[in-house]
Structure 1
Amino acid sequence: MDRVDTCLIAIRRILRATELYGRELKQTSGITAVQFRVLQIISERSHATAKEISVRMRVSQATVTSLVDKLVRQGMVVREKSEQDRRQTNIHITPKGRQTLDEAPDPLQQRFVRKFDAMEDWEQSMLVSSLERVAAMLDAEDLDASPVLDTGELKRTLDH
């Protein structure tokens, strides 16, 4: 097998791993990896604003609104007007949302973060450089992307 095939197989394995994890999360928890990340951000302080979430995830507030709407419908978060600033709406995690976080399978990206953090600094730099190069080779360096390992919902949300 030549290097081109080896590279393409590695890329396909990464895509498959994210697909399979996304399916497992959806089946066991009823939410997508992107919704899971929103819940994680909210749970850090028990509440967050759409702006805080959009900054952390590097997506538009409209995208966050769509994601939060889905979580509200599922009873995992609620919106409440801020008592300090009535113009601001806080998004609070519910007991159901907290339970979902507790019972969900180990997030794929947290596994990645643990293993990445264990690498030497030079290895991290080399990996980042290589992945950025792959993105450029696929003409994907300018695509809007959040630091969430998921293949579907975020793109669909950004398209609408």
Structure 2
Amino acid sequence: MDTQEILIKIRKIVRSIDIESKKIQKEYGVSIPQVLCLSYLRESPNYQATQGEIRKYVNLNSSTVSGIINRLEKKGYLARLPKAGDKRVANIVLTSAGDELLKTIPPLLHEQLSERLDKLDSTELSKLENGLESLVALLDIEQVDASPIIMLKIDNEQQGDLDSEVE
């Protein structure tokens, strides 16, 4: 395989993520980070979590997560409830509308990839990891902070979600 083929394969991955982001935004009216926030709440005990817990899961800064939560609250997909015993902290709770939305959204690329990676044997997984480590080193991007969640910024609403994450 020559270098151009490698670049094309990388571009296919990036383009697929971009297409997925645009499709989810257009068809469901939410961004990928918003879907991830709702999904986290769905998996949390009593369908609720603090903003800090959500922030750690999506690996975005506090102001970005605050914007995501504000937009989802306006759409009725989640609600803020005072935390019992500490009125300074609010629990973010998934609403039935948010749960219904999640039922309609197909599995995201990162979920599909995670399931498929889990099925690889350790030799294949190690080869893939070594190749990706080499690619990261070639691009000199080891210092870039990233989460295991694949997403891109695509429009004004998502820009509000991710502005401070892209520097």
Give the distance between the partners of 1:83 and 1:68, measured in 2 at CA: 20
Matched, 1:54 2:61: no
136, 157, 165: which is aligned to 1:158? 165
Q: Which runs of 5+ in 1 are unaligned?
A: none
State the 1:87 CA deviation.
2.2
> Which residue in the other structure is 1:35 paired with?
34
TM-score (norm 2): 0.86
Give the distance between the partners of 2:10 and 2:36, measured in 1 at CA: 23
Give the distance between the partners of 1:52 and 1:64, measured in 2 at CA: 10
Give the match's secondary structure for 1:87. strand
Task: Describe the shift of the 1:133–1:69 C-alpha distance in structure 2 as closer, same or farther (beyond 3 A).
Answer: farther
State the 1:157 CA deviation.
3.9
Matched, 1:114 2:102: no
> Which residue in the other structure is 1:63 paired with?
64
Paired residues, what number?
Answer: 159
Give the distance between the partners of 2:74 and 2:141, measured in 1 at CA: 33
State the 1:155 CA deviation.
4.2
Q: Which stretch of the first structure deviates more once superposed, 130-139 or 113-122?
A: 130-139
Give the distance between the partners of 2:102 and 2:133, measured in 1 at CA: 31
The aligned runs of 1:4-153 (5 Å cut-off) are 4-45=3-44, 46-152=47-153, 153=158
TM-score (norm 1): 0.89
Give the distance between the partners of 1:135 and 1:66, measured in 2 at CA: 30
CA RMSD of aligned residues (A): 1.8
